[in-house]
Amino acid sequence: MQQLGVNPGYHADISNDLPTYVAEQPQEAAPARKPASAEPDVSTLSPVEAAISLGNWNYDQQNWTMAIEKYQRAIALGADNPDVQTDLGNAYRFSGNAMKALEHYQVARRENPQHENSLFNMATLYDLVLKDPDNALRTWQDYLTRFPNGEKAAAAREYIAKSGSKTP
C-alpha cells in the first residue's frame, strides 16, 4: 500500500458518530455537521493526495456526493486501499445508499481482512441501517474473533449480549 502525505483513513472509524448499543436506535443519523471551513489548498499535493484531501474535506462538510466523487477519483488514481474504500463506504452510508456502503466495506475487507474499521462499520451497517440482526451478529462475532482487544470490542460484546448469543 502506498503511503501518502495525507491520512487516507481519516474517517474510517465512525464509532464516535454512532449510538451505543445500550438501547435500540430507531434509525441511524449522519454525524453532526461540523462548521464550514474553507476548501483546502491542494495545489502542492499530488493528484491522488489532492483527491483524498478533498474527499476528507467534503466528508467533514457532509457533502456526501462530492466526497464520493473525490474518493472514487483517488481510487482511480491508485489509492485503492482499505482506508479509502471504508471512507467511500461511509460516504455512501450517510448519503442513504446502504448497499453501496456494504459493497465498499466488503472491498476493504478483501483488500485487508485485518482492517478493523471496515469490519466494525459493516457490523453497525447491518445492525442500524439494514436491520439484519443475523448478519450483524455474525459480523460482530467475526470482529471479536479477529480483534478481541480491539478499540471497539466492548461495543461488539454489548451487541452480542443484547442479542442473547454468546461471545466467541
Domains recognised in the chain with CATH numbers = 45-137 (1.25.40.10)
Give the separation between CA 14 and CA 65, rounded to whole angstroms: 18
Specify the pLDDT at position 168: 65
Specify the pLDDT at position 24: 35
Print pLDDT tens along the chain (168 aa): 333 444 444 565 555 554 333 233 334 555 655 566 789 999 999 999 999 999 999 999 999 999 999 999 999 999 999 999 999 999 999 999 999 999 999 999 999 999 999 999 999 999 999 999 999 999 999 999 999 999 999 999 998 898 776 666
How many other C-beta atoms are found inside a 10 Å radius of the C-beta of residue 90? 29
Specify the pLDDT at position 22: 28
Specify the pLDDT at position 2: 35
pTM: 0.80
Give the total residue count for the chain. Answer: 168
Residue 126 CA: distances (Å) to CA of 44, 59, 157: 40, 22, 16
